Structure 1
Amino acid sequence: MRLLHSSGTPLHVSYCTNVHPAEDLDGIIAQFDAYAVPIRDRLGADVLGLGLWLAAPVAAALAADPALRARLRGELTARGLEVVTVNGFPYRSFQDPVVKHAVYHPDWTTRERLTYTLDLARVLADLLPDDAARGSVSTLPLAWRDPWDAAMAGQAARRLDELAAGLADVESATGRVVRVAFEPEPGCVVETTEQAIAHLADADHDRLGVCVDLAHLACAWEKPADALGALRDAGLPVVKVQLSAALETAEPEALREYVEPRFLHQTRTPAGEAADDLDEALDRRLPGPWRVHYHVPLHVSPSAPLAATTPLLREALAELAGGPEPLCDHFDVETYTWGVLPAALRPQTPGQLADGIADELDFVRAELRHLGVEA
């Protein structure tokens, strides 16, 4: 969806397709018909934005073949769909039965990660609507924290220099600006806003910035105003925002039905105690309250004694879009965990999943309207 900020700046609101398993072009196009078109229809939107996820093999194929890129753009346009942002965090196999730590590989010390990200930038440059100001690619926060040493940090810094140069080449060749956004996440080298500022201090801030994932921000127990103010003061742009909500509770035993084998669910307390997964936190009996990296649907509240960090999402939206100028123009709903929710909450059919995602987008649209943004 496109919404209009009171300043006249278009705000692009999309949903992230990493919730779907397709990793080849035909499968990706099929998911447009199964999910994206019904979502657009349910919202009554002329155009629906997708935060497109492309696994590394299909990204490479598209980057190498202008005809394939033209086909993909044509398929999007024919269905009233558009892409201004791409999720480049998962490399491939994101909906496999077990993902866990594999999602952090390859990391930013490797050429594979650099190649994948530049492939995505080349593809996105050709998918961008003609009137879009720029595109964005979100990516992992350098690496999982262990192992990490000075040599790896130096290698990653060199990759980021190569990335900025490659993005400049994309702009020179296509006339389109694509920026890359590093996404702080619990357990990674870059977990907090402060760490993002430190690790990206010497990066090219015209092309590289931060993806603020609001569930991750909540799990770090950061306040949106403080985090966004620190980024502004450091001159580090908010390239993209991932609209997400984490689980929160003062009674951790109520979380047992959320333990599942596919994704990591990092758990944090306000005192800084941490576990890398929910089952570990339960076994260690960390003192509550907890916030858990488990993206839950934005538009519904879990049953007590559980809650979602939706109040923090509202605070963040007020900071991001409630002022005289927006701090970001790319907003992507990223609830990739629909398929691992407790059975009673899990969609059973494609239509039910489409309904749930549409409800999330409608929730976001209503929240932004409350801030004076026009639909």
Structure 2
Amino acid sequence: MKTKYGYLTYCSNIHPGESWSDHFLHLKSHLPKIHQSVSPEAPMGLGLRLSNEASLELMDPEVMAEWKDWLNKEGIYVFLINGFPYGGFHETVVKENVYRPDWATKERFDYTLRLFSILSELLPDGMEGGVSTPPLSYFYFDSNEFLRKERILSATEQIVNVAIHLIQMKLDRGQILHLDIEPEPDGILGNVKLWVEWFLSDFLPMVVPRIKTMLGVDRKVAEQMARDHIRICLDACHAAVSFEDNKSILSLLAEHSIQVGRIQISSALKINFLKGTNSLLDLVSSFDEPTYLHQVLIQSEDKTLESFPDLPQAIQNGKKQSVEWRIHFHVPVFLESYGLLSSTQKEVLELLNLQKQTKFTNALEVETYTWGVLPKEVQMPVSESIIRELQWVQSVLEDKNK
């Protein structure tokens, strides 16, 4: 829904269904109730998650027509698509497979262009639209730096081709569509600083000459075109896990004129060992589940950081000299604590308040997708969960004191 500070939505990756028919059934079951609760008097936007399988089905004109007809009747529109997970995302072991196929493959390229074709069909007139995507690849796919550099080169070439495609779509249809590349711990672009370094040192030097040659424009115009179509997806959970400071992030992005395609509003799990209890590791073990990657960054007393690719390795390492753990586990944004454990809700509030001050993006997407694997005591029905998440964000945006 439209707010003073941007379009607020949630990502449908919370709903299962890898085929389009299955996912559509879940959307029809939940979306009308959510819409009625959070935006009864106005149309509601949706961040649509489409698997590769679902995207292929939705390219059928009859299937697309049915979906558009339902959206129009319900007063719902699509302006964001989540293109990070290509394949299975529910009731299966995902872990590092969420990065497969990565940006070094034709499969990822074809899938992403298909998502942009679908988004172009669904996007309301006058709106910009974005597709989110992984940070090139997973760091540990490569055993050495030479192989990793080769993968980065291949991935960058593919993203350059996406940028060229989106520029042509803008010229043909007048729509501004952008690829929102999402930094995540242990991704090749694991944090915002690494993302910016890649954008300036790898992407722009490769894409700008291509645009100049294709369109006969000068360097300044070509670079601005590239910047319009390749943006950063700023996930509040991922930034918090990496102990990144929100003000510093936004300052860095502003310094280099990098656009934020969307904020993904989500909290990470946090453990403060200064509380001095020996039961904290036992408590966090209840969040150790086999479906998703739960990267852990640990801060010691001297502010140095140690990282672990998943929660079991961090638990095995033990408390040692830890002051604070940050865990990649998308916990509800409206909850500040879970008994002795807590969340990075403070960091989410800070980011939303910075958005209220400067409005550095026009898209706000709640992305808590782990309800089904949370400990039972903090689970609740899916529709109620989404409604409470959106209402909490609405209250933050509307309250001058928060």
TM-score (norm 1): 0.92
* Residue identity opposite 1:335 in structure 2: T
Q: CA deviation at 1:96?
A: 3.0
- Please name the residue that 2:335 is paired with: 300
- Please name the residue that 1:266 is paired with: 295
Mapping 1:3-42, distance limit 5 Å: 3-5=3-5, 11-42=6-37
- Please name the residue that 2:245 is paired with: 223
Are 2:184 and 2:191, in contact at CA under 8 Å, matched by a contact in 1?
yes
Q: Secondary structure at the match of 1:328?
A: coil
Q: CA deviation at 1:171?
A: 2.5
Q: Secondary structure at the match of 1:273?
A: strand
Q: CA deviation at 1:157?
A: 1.4
1:268-289 deviation digits (Å, cap 9, x = unpaired): 0232101111111000115231
- Please name the residue that 1:233 is paired with: 255
Q: CA deviation at 1:169?
A: 2.9
| Percent identical residues | 30
Residue 12 of structure 2 is aligned to residue 50 of structure 1: no
Q: CA deviation at 1:299?
A: 1.1
Mapping 1:132-143, distance limit 5 Å: 132=127, 134-143=128-137
Mapping 1:24-103, distance limit 5 Å: 24-45=19-40, 46-63=42-59, 65-103=60-98
Are 2:20 and 2:53, in contact at CA under 8 Å, matched by a contact in 1?
no
- Please name the residue that 2:2 is paired with: 2
Mapping 1:319-358, distance limit 5 Å: 319-323=354-358, 326-347=359-380, 352-358=381-387
- Please name the residue that 1:314 is paired with: 349
Are 2:133 and 2:180, in contact at CA under 8 Å, matched by a contact in 1?
yes
Comparing both structures, which one devotes a greater share of its residues to helix? 2
The change in CA–CA distance for 1:72 and 1:367 in structure 2 (over 3 A counts) is same
1:182-240 deviation digits (Å, cap 9, x = unpaired): 10001110111110001112342120010000000000101101001101111211111
Which consecutive segments of 4 or more residues in structure 1 shift more than 4 A?
A: none
Over the residues paired in the alignment, what is the CA RMSD in angstroms? 1.7
- The structure whose Rg is larger is 2
Q: CA deviation at 1:44?
A: 4.2
Q: Secondary structure at the match of 1:336?
A: coil
Mapping 1:186-201, distance limit 5 Å: 186-201=185-200
* Residue identity opposite 2:345 in structure 1: T
- Please name the residue that 1:256 is paired with: 285
Distance 1:246 1:189 in 2: 20
Q: CA deviation at 1:297?
A: 0.7
The change in CA–CA distance for 1:372 and 1:169 in structure 2 (over 3 A counts) is farther
* Residue identity opposite 1:170 in structure 2: M
Distance 1:73 1:229 in 2: 40
Distance 1:128 1:38 in 2: 22
Q: Secondary structure at the match of 2:227?
A: coil
* Residue identity opposite 1:368 in structure 2: L
* Residue identity opposite 1:367 in structure 2: V
TM-score (norm 2): 0.86
- Which region of structure 1 is more displaced relative to structure 2, 257-266 or 270-279? 270-279
Q: Secondary structure at the match of 1:200?
A: helix
- Which region of structure 1 is more displaced relative to structure 2, 244-253 or 352-361? 244-253
Q: CA deviation at 1:32?
A: 2.1
Mapping 1:119-134, distance limit 5 Å: 119-132=114-127, 134=128
1:122-156 deviation digits (Å, cap 9, x = unpaired): 10011111242x10111000000021522112111
Distance 2:400 2:129 in 1: 24
1:42-77 deviation digits (Å, cap 9, x = unpaired): 2243322211001112213334x3443333222112
Q: CA deviation at 1:109?
A: 0.7
Are 1:29 and 1:75, in contact at CA under 8 Å, matched by a contact in 2?
no
1:282-310 deviation digits (Å, cap 9, x = unpaired): 00115231010001111123323211101
Q: Secondary structure at the match of 2:337?
A: coil
Unaligned runs of 5+ in 1: 6-10
